[in-house]
Amino acid sequence: MKKFKIFFDIEKEEQWLNAQLQKGYRCTDISGLGMYTFEKTDKRYVIRLDYQDYLSKKKFRDYKGVYEDFGWIYIKGSRLGGIQHWQKEDDGRNEIFSDRQSQSSYYKRLMSYSFGLGIPLLAFSYMLYKDSGLYLTEGLWSMKGSLFWKAFLFETPFALLRSLPAFMVVFFAGSFYKAYRKYSMFKEK
Amino acid sequence: MKHKLLPLSETMHYILLALREPLHGYAIMQKIEKMSNGTVLLAAGTLYGAIDNLNKQGWIEPVDQSGRRKVYMITAEGNAILKMEQSRLLHILSLYEGRESNEKI
Protein backbone atom coordinates (compact mmCIF):
# COMPACT_ATOMS: atom_id res chain seq x y z
CA MET A 1 0.00 0.00 0.00
CA LYS A 2 1.33 3.41 -0.92
CA LYS A 3 0.10 6.68 0.51
CA PHE A 4 1.08 10.18 -0.41
CA LYS A 5 1.11 12.72 2.36
CA ILE A 6 2.99 15.87 3.30
CA PHE A 7 3.47 16.91 6.91
CA PHE A 8 4.68 20.15 8.39
CA ASP A 9 4.34 18.94 11.96
CA ILE A 10 6.56 16.15 13.25
CA GLU A 11 4.09 15.07 15.95
CA LYS A 12 1.17 14.90 13.50
CA GLU A 13 3.31 12.76 11.20
CA GLU A 14 4.11 10.40 14.05
CA GLN A 15 0.45 10.10 15.02
CA TRP A 16 -0.64 9.45 11.44
CA LEU A 17 2.05 6.81 10.91
CA ASN A 18 1.09 4.98 14.09
CA ALA A 19 -2.58 5.10 13.10
CA GLN A 20 -1.62 3.25 9.87
CA LEU A 21 0.41 0.67 11.80
CA GLN A 22 -2.55 0.08 14.12
CA LYS A 23 -4.50 -1.12 11.10
CA GLY A 24 -2.05 -4.01 10.71
CA TYR A 25 0.67 -2.52 8.56
CA ARG A 26 4.33 -1.87 8.89
CA CYS A 27 6.16 0.87 7.09
CA THR A 28 8.80 -0.29 4.62
CA ASP A 29 9.84 2.92 2.94
CA ILE A 30 9.44 6.67 3.07
CA SER A 31 10.55 8.66 0.07
CA GLY A 32 11.69 12.23 0.31
CA LEU A 33 8.70 13.43 -1.66
CA GLY A 34 6.16 12.23 0.88
CA MET A 35 5.44 8.74 -0.45
CA TYR A 36 4.89 6.27 2.38
CA THR A 37 4.99 2.55 1.56
CA PHE A 38 3.31 0.05 3.89
CA GLU A 39 3.09 -3.71 3.96
CA LYS A 40 0.46 -5.94 5.62
CA THR A 41 1.70 -7.75 8.72
CA ASP A 42 0.35 -9.98 11.50
CA LYS A 43 2.64 -8.38 14.04
CA ARG A 44 2.15 -5.01 15.65
CA TYR A 45 4.64 -2.27 15.05
CA VAL A 46 5.23 1.23 16.42
CA ILE A 47 7.03 4.19 14.89
CA ARG A 48 8.81 6.95 16.79
CA LEU A 49 10.23 10.13 15.28
CA ASP A 50 13.36 11.76 16.60
CA TYR A 51 15.00 14.95 15.42
CA GLN A 52 18.77 15.26 15.19
CA ASP A 53 20.97 18.06 13.90
CA TYR A 54 23.99 17.30 11.75
CA LEU A 55 25.90 14.27 13.06
CA SER A 56 29.45 13.36 12.09
CA LYS A 57 29.83 9.93 10.47
CA LYS A 58 31.14 8.46 13.71
CA LYS A 59 28.40 9.98 15.82
CA PHE A 60 25.75 8.85 13.37
CA ARG A 61 27.08 5.29 13.62
CA ASP A 62 26.92 5.47 17.43
CA TYR A 63 23.43 6.97 17.29
CA LYS A 64 22.12 4.24 14.98
CA GLY A 65 23.99 1.55 16.88
CA VAL A 66 22.31 2.35 20.20
CA TYR A 67 18.81 2.44 18.68
CA GLU A 68 19.38 -0.78 16.72
CA ASP A 69 20.54 -2.58 19.87
CA PHE A 70 17.16 -1.74 21.37
CA GLY A 71 15.42 -3.32 18.37
CA TRP A 72 14.62 -0.13 16.47
CA ILE A 73 14.83 -0.29 12.68
CA TYR A 74 15.89 2.81 10.80
CA ILE A 75 13.28 3.65 8.17
CA LYS A 76 14.32 7.06 7.03
CA GLY A 77 16.33 10.05 8.12
CA SER A 78 19.44 11.95 7.36
CA ARG A 79 22.83 12.18 8.96
CA LEU A 80 22.99 15.80 7.88
CA GLY A 81 20.09 16.73 10.11
CA GLY A 82 16.37 16.19 10.14
CA ILE A 83 13.64 13.85 11.25
CA GLN A 84 14.78 10.31 12.01
CA HIS A 85 12.09 7.63 11.59
CA TRP A 86 12.42 4.57 13.81
CA GLN A 87 10.17 1.49 13.71
CA LYS A 88 10.03 -1.47 16.03
CA GLU A 89 7.86 -4.43 16.89
CA ASP A 90 5.53 -3.55 19.74
CA ASP A 91 6.98 -5.20 22.86
CA GLY A 92 5.70 -2.88 25.55
CA ARG A 93 8.91 -0.84 25.59
CA ASN A 94 7.96 1.45 22.79
CA GLU A 95 9.29 4.84 23.76
CA ILE A 96 12.57 6.38 22.66
CA PHE A 97 12.72 8.78 25.62
CA SER A 98 12.38 7.61 29.20
CA ASP A 99 13.00 10.74 31.23
CA ARG A 100 12.08 14.43 31.26
CA GLN A 101 15.60 15.64 30.56
CA SER A 102 15.83 13.80 27.23
CA GLN A 103 12.22 14.59 26.34
CA SER A 104 12.83 18.30 26.90
CA SER A 105 16.08 18.30 24.93
CA TYR A 106 14.19 16.72 22.03
CA TYR A 107 11.86 19.73 22.00
CA LYS A 108 14.85 22.01 22.34
CA ARG A 109 16.33 20.50 19.18
CA LEU A 110 13.01 21.13 17.41
CA MET A 111 13.07 24.74 18.64
CA SER A 112 16.54 25.44 17.31
CA TYR A 113 15.55 23.84 14.00
CA SER A 114 12.57 26.20 13.56
CA PHE A 115 14.67 29.11 14.76
CA GLY A 116 17.50 28.28 12.39
CA LEU A 117 15.15 28.27 9.40
CA GLY A 118 12.90 31.11 10.55
CA ILE A 119 15.55 33.76 11.17
CA PRO A 120 17.24 33.62 7.71
CA LEU A 121 13.77 33.67 6.13
CA LEU A 122 12.85 36.69 8.20
CA ALA A 123 15.98 38.52 7.03
CA PHE A 124 15.25 37.46 3.46
CA SER A 125 11.64 38.67 3.67
CA TYR A 126 12.78 41.99 5.06
CA MET A 127 15.19 42.51 2.18
CA LEU A 128 12.50 41.50 -0.28
CA TYR A 129 9.87 43.93 0.98
CA LYS A 130 11.77 46.88 2.42
CA ASP A 131 12.05 48.94 -0.79
CA SER A 132 8.79 47.95 -2.42
CA GLY A 133 5.43 46.56 -1.51
CA LEU A 134 4.21 43.19 -2.59
CA TYR A 135 3.06 44.56 -5.95
CA LEU A 136 5.84 45.61 -8.29
CA THR A 137 3.89 47.14 -11.21
CA GLU A 138 4.88 50.76 -11.61
CA GLY A 139 2.01 53.16 -10.78
CA LEU A 140 -0.43 50.33 -10.08
CA TRP A 141 -2.23 52.14 -7.29
CA SER A 142 -2.87 55.26 -9.41
CA MET A 143 -4.42 53.34 -12.31
CA LYS A 144 -8.14 53.74 -12.90
CA GLY A 145 -11.05 51.41 -13.64
CA SER A 146 -10.58 48.26 -15.68
CA LEU A 147 -6.93 48.98 -16.34
CA PHE A 148 -6.34 48.85 -12.60
CA TRP A 149 -8.25 45.58 -12.19
CA LYS A 150 -6.47 43.90 -15.10
CA ALA A 151 -3.06 44.92 -13.84
CA PHE A 152 -4.02 44.03 -10.28
CA LEU A 153 -5.26 40.55 -11.17
CA PHE A 154 -2.28 39.93 -13.41
CA GLU A 155 0.10 40.86 -10.65
CA THR A 156 -1.64 39.04 -7.79
CA PRO A 157 -0.17 35.55 -8.40
CA PHE A 158 3.31 37.08 -8.40
CA ALA A 159 2.54 39.01 -5.25
CA LEU A 160 1.42 35.78 -3.57
CA LEU A 161 4.64 34.13 -4.62
CA ARG A 162 6.60 37.05 -3.23
CA SER A 163 4.78 36.75 0.08
CA LEU A 164 5.72 33.06 0.44
CA PRO A 165 8.82 33.76 2.58
CA ALA A 166 6.66 35.75 4.98
CA PHE A 167 4.16 32.91 5.26
CA MET A 168 7.02 30.55 5.97
CA VAL A 169 8.31 32.86 8.70
CA VAL A 170 4.87 32.70 10.33
CA PHE A 171 4.85 28.92 9.98
CA PHE A 172 8.28 28.49 11.58
CA ALA A 173 7.37 30.93 14.33
CA GLY A 174 4.33 28.73 14.99
CA SER A 175 6.40 25.51 15.15
CA PHE A 176 8.94 27.25 17.36
CA TYR A 177 6.21 28.30 19.77
CA LYS A 178 4.66 24.81 19.81
CA ALA A 179 8.03 23.19 20.56
CA TYR A 180 8.71 25.85 23.20
CA ARG A 181 5.41 25.09 24.99
CA LYS A 182 6.27 21.37 25.16
CA TYR A 183 9.85 22.15 26.11
CA SER A 184 8.88 24.25 29.10
CA MET A 185 6.30 21.65 30.11
CA PHE A 186 9.00 18.98 30.42
CA LYS A 187 11.61 21.37 31.75
CA GLU A 188 9.53 22.20 34.81
CA LYS A 189 10.28 20.07 37.81
CA MET B 1 26.74 28.77 39.19
CA LYS B 2 26.08 25.09 39.55
CA HIS B 3 26.87 22.80 36.64
CA LYS B 4 23.80 22.33 34.43
CA LEU B 5 23.79 18.56 35.02
CA LEU B 6 23.88 18.92 38.82
CA PRO B 7 22.27 17.63 40.90
CA LEU B 8 22.44 14.50 38.77
CA SER B 9 19.20 13.20 37.31
CA GLU B 10 18.28 9.59 38.07
CA THR B 11 19.35 8.59 34.54
CA MET B 12 22.76 10.29 34.76
CA HIS B 13 23.32 8.99 38.26
CA TYR B 14 22.68 5.39 37.30
CA ILE B 15 24.82 5.62 34.15
CA LEU B 16 27.82 6.98 36.06
CA LEU B 17 27.43 4.30 38.71
CA ALA B 18 27.06 1.54 36.09
CA LEU B 19 30.17 2.73 34.25
CA ARG B 20 32.48 2.03 37.15
CA GLU B 21 33.04 -1.05 34.99
CA PRO B 22 33.50 -0.77 31.18
CA LEU B 23 30.23 -1.34 29.27
CA HIS B 24 28.72 -0.60 25.87
CA GLY B 25 25.42 1.22 25.44
CA TYR B 26 22.93 -1.64 25.54
CA ALA B 27 24.79 -3.34 28.40
CA ILE B 28 24.52 -0.08 30.40
CA MET B 29 20.74 -0.24 30.05
CA GLN B 30 20.67 -3.91 31.12
CA LYS B 31 22.91 -3.31 34.12
CA ILE B 32 20.81 -0.34 35.23
CA GLU B 33 17.64 -2.41 34.95
CA LYS B 34 19.21 -4.90 37.40
CA MET B 35 20.76 -2.26 39.68
CA SER B 36 17.40 -0.52 40.04
CA ASN B 37 15.41 -3.73 40.53
CA GLY B 38 13.63 -3.13 37.27
CA THR B 39 12.43 0.39 38.11
CA VAL B 40 14.71 2.35 35.76
CA LEU B 41 14.25 1.28 32.14
CA LEU B 42 16.26 3.54 29.86
CA ALA B 43 14.96 4.08 26.33
CA ALA B 44 17.28 4.26 23.32
CA GLY B 45 17.11 8.02 22.70
CA THR B 46 17.56 8.83 26.37
CA LEU B 47 20.57 6.53 26.67
CA TYR B 48 22.19 7.87 23.48
CA GLY B 49 21.69 11.49 24.56
CA ALA B 50 22.98 10.84 28.08
CA ILE B 51 26.12 9.02 26.89
CA ASP B 52 26.79 11.79 24.39
CA ASN B 53 26.32 14.43 27.07
CA LEU B 54 28.44 12.72 29.74
CA ASN B 55 31.16 12.08 27.18
CA LYS B 56 31.12 15.76 26.20
CA GLN B 57 31.51 16.76 29.87
CA GLY B 58 34.48 14.38 30.14
CA TRP B 59 32.77 12.41 32.91
CA ILE B 60 32.89 9.19 30.89
CA GLU B 61 35.11 8.19 27.95
CA PRO B 62 35.26 5.49 25.29
CA VAL B 63 37.88 2.95 26.31
CA ASP B 64 37.39 0.15 23.83
CA GLN B 65 35.47 -1.03 20.79
CA SER B 66 33.61 -4.33 20.82
CA GLY B 67 32.53 -4.92 17.23
CA ARG B 68 30.68 -1.79 16.15
CA ARG B 69 29.84 -0.89 19.74
CA LYS B 70 31.80 1.62 21.78
CA VAL B 71 32.68 0.62 25.32
CA TYR B 72 32.61 3.44 27.88
CA MET B 73 33.96 3.90 31.38
CA ILE B 74 33.81 6.61 34.03
CA THR B 75 36.74 9.08 34.20
CA ALA B 76 38.50 10.56 37.24
CA GLU B 77 36.37 13.67 36.78
CA GLY B 78 33.23 11.54 36.69
CA ASN B 79 34.28 9.85 39.91
CA ALA B 80 34.79 13.24 41.53
CA ILE B 81 31.22 14.15 40.53
CA LEU B 82 29.94 10.93 42.12
CA LYS B 83 31.86 11.74 45.32
CA MET B 84 30.20 15.17 45.45
CA GLU B 85 26.78 13.70 44.85
CA GLN B 86 27.39 11.06 47.48
CA SER B 87 28.12 13.61 50.20
CA ARG B 88 25.09 15.67 49.10
CA LEU B 89 22.85 12.60 49.32
CA LEU B 90 24.38 11.45 52.61
CA HIS B 91 23.59 14.84 54.06
CA ILE B 92 19.99 14.61 52.89
CA LEU B 93 19.76 11.07 54.32
CA SER B 94 21.04 12.35 57.65
CA LEU B 95 18.25 14.93 57.60
CA TYR B 96 15.75 12.12 56.98
CA GLU B 97 17.02 10.33 60.04
CA GLY B 98 16.98 13.46 62.15
CA ARG B 99 20.66 13.20 63.02
CA GLU B 100 21.53 16.69 61.85
CA SER B 101 19.10 18.43 64.19
CA ASN B 102 20.29 16.35 67.15
CA GLU B 103 23.88 17.47 66.62
CA LYS B 104 22.90 21.08 67.00
CA ILE B 105 21.24 20.55 70.40
Q: Do B44 and A69 touch (CB under 8 A)?
A: yes
Residues of chain A contacting residue B49, judged by C-beta atoms under 8 Å apart? 102, 105
Residue A152 distance to chain B (closest CA, Å): 53
Of residues B74 and B103, more confidence is placed in B74
pLDDT digits (tens, 9 = 90+) for A98-109: 999 999 999 999
Among the ranges given (A57-61, A70-74, A128-132, B42-46), the one the predictor scored with the smallest mean pLDDT: A128-132
Rounded mean pLDDT, B1-29: 93
Residues of chain B contacting residue A98, judged by C-beta atoms under 8 Å apart? 11, 41-43, 46
Q: Are residues A77 and A128 in the same domain?
A: no
Final residue in a domain of this structure, among A89, A116, A137:
A89
Query: What was the pLDDT predicted at B64?
Result: 92
Query: What was the pLDDT predicted at A126?
Result: 86
Q: Are residues A112 and A182 in the same domain?
A: yes
Residue B87 distance to chain A (closest CA, Å): 23
Q: Do B9 and A93 touch (CB under 8 A)?
A: no
Number of domains comprising chain A: 2
pLDDT digits (tens, 9 = 90+) for A167-187: 899 999 999 999 999 999 888
Contact A80, A59 (CB under 8 A): no
Task: Note down the domain range covering A124.
Answer: 100-188
pLDDT at A127 over 60: yes
pTM over 0.90: no
Pick from A14, A48, A101, A105 the residue to mutate for testing the B interface (most B CBs within 10 Å): A101
Q: What's the complex ipTM?
A: 0.88
Q: Do B44 and A72 touch (CB under 8 A)?
A: yes
Where residue B105 falls among pLDDT bands split at 50, 70, 90? Answer: very low
A126 vs A60: CA distance, rounded Å: 37
Final residue in a domain of this structure, among A89, A122, A154:
A89
Q: Are residues A42 and A105 in the same domain?
A: no
Q: Are residues A71 and A140 in the same domain?
A: no
* CA A122 to each of CA A130, A165, A179: distance values in angstroms, whole numbers, following the listed order: 12, 8, 19
Residue A44 distance to chain B (closest CA, Å): 19
Evaluate whether residue A95 is within a structural domain. no
For residue A130, count CB atoms less than 10 angstroms from its CB and return exposed for 0-12, middle for 13-18, buried for 19 or more: exposed
Q: Are residues A78 and A105 in the same domain?
A: no
Residues of chain B contacting residue A93, judged by C-beta atoms under 8 Å apart? 41, 43
Q: Do B29 and A102 touch (CB under 8 A)?
A: no
- Check CB contact of A97 with chain B, cutoff 8 Å: yes
pLDDT digits (tens, 9 = 90+) for A86-98: 999 999 999 999 9
Query: What was the pLDDT predicted at A26?
Result: 95
Where residue B32 falls among pLDDT bands split at 50, 70, 90? Answer: very high
A170 vs A176: CA distance, rounded Å: 10
- A169's CB contacts (< 8 A; 6+ apart) are A118, A121, A122, A125
Residue B23 distance to chain A (closest CA, Å): 13
- A23's CB contacts (< 8 A; 6+ apart) are none
Evaluate whether residue A141 is within a structural domain. yes
Of residues B37 and A140, more confidence is placed in B37
Evaluate whether residue A94 is within a structural domain. no
pLDDT at A21 over 80: yes
Q: Are residues A106 and A49 in the same domain?
A: no
Strand partners, A46: A88
Domains and CATH numbers, chain B: 10-96 (1.10.10.10)
